[in-house]
Structure formats: structure tokens, C-alpha cells
């Protein structure tokens, strides 16, 4: 059974304090791993898709990396506007069901 576990559940940072969010996954065969950002009261917003181990993608202060068992979302010098819930999800090969983790709530204080 496909599973996604995100840690920590919540993370509090000072502005400029870099850190990483973890997404551990179990899947029969990985078609893609996704990162989304979700602001309160809104739908998830797409950030990255990673397809194979060793792949990395960057967008502004965010960088996503992928290994065969986990993915990290690195946040460099975060700002208060980076405060949100970050969701990780996996899609297995040959399947149509995307499985989401419970998310990490990030709080960045000025």
C-alpha cells in the first residue's frame, strides 16, 4: 500500500533561518512525487514534480530533492510570506490515485 509520511508536523522558524521539510514515501513504483503549498482557506497550489532519484528542482527560496525513499523541501532564508502548509504526494506507476501526506505547517516569524 502506498504511503506518505511528512515531518515535522509543524515548524517554526525565524526569518532568514534555513531549514528542511521531510517527506518519506513507500510506493510500488514511483511515477511522480509532488510538492504543493496550501494557504489557509485555499486549495493546494502546485510547486514541484520530481520523477526520479537524484532529481532536484528550485523555485525562489525553495529547492526540492528526491531519493528512492524520501524527498526534502529545503527553504533558504525564509520570509514570513513563506508561512503555509506544505503537502507532499506520490503517484505510482500504472495507477491513477495520488496519495497525500498530512502536511507540514510552516510558520516564519519576522
Partner 1 sequence: NAGVTQTPKFQVLKTGQSMTLQCAQDMNHEYMSWYRQDPGMGLRLIHYSVGAGITDQGEVPNGYNVSRSTTEDFPLRLLSAAPSQTSVYFCASSFTPGTGGVDTQYFGPGTRLTVL
Where does this chain bind partner 1 (CB under 8 A)? Answer: 4, 31-32, 34, 36, 41-46, 49, 87, 89, 91, 93-103
Q: What is the three-class DSSP state of 88?
A: strand
CB 85, min distance to partner 1, A: 9
In the complex, minimum distance from the CB of residue 54 to partner 1, in angstroms, rounded to a whole number: 19
Judged by CB, which is closer to partner 1: 18, or 26?
26
**In the complex, minimum distance from the CB of residue 97 to partner 1, in angstroms, rounded to a whole number:** 6
Cis status, amide bond into 30, omega within 30 of 0? no
Place of cell 514511483: 30
Of the pair 29, 54, the CB lying nearest partner 1 is at: 29
Between 72 and 100, CB nearer to partner 1? 100
Would you put residue 61 in left (φ > 0), alpha (ψ -120 to 50) or beta?
Answer: alpha
- Give SS3 for 10: strand
Q: How is 50-75 classified by DSSP, letter by letter?
A: E-STT-EEEETTEEEEE-SSEEEEEE
Question: Given the complex with partner 1, which of 15 and 60 has the nearer CB atom?
Answer: 60
Amino acid at each position: 500500500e502506498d504511503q506518505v509520511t511528512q515531518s515535522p508536523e509543524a515548524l517554526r522558524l525565524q526569518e532568514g533561518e534555513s531549514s528542511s521539510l521531510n517527506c518519506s514515501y513507500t510506493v510500488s513504483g514511483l511515477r511522480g512525487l509532488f510538492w504543493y503549498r496550501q494557504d489557509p482557506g485555499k486549495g493546494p497550489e502546485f510547486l514541484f514534480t520530481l520523477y526520479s532519484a537524484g532529481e532536484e528542482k528550485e523555485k525562489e527560496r525553495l529547492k526540492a530533492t528526491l531519493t528512492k525513499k524520501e524527498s526534502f523541501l529545503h527553504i533558504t532564508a525564509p520570509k514570513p510570506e513563506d508561512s503555509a502548509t506544505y503537502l507532499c504526494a506520490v503517484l505510482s506507476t500504472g495507477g491513477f490515485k495520488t496519495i497525500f501526506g498530512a502536511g507540514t505547517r510552516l510558520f516564519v516569524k519576522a
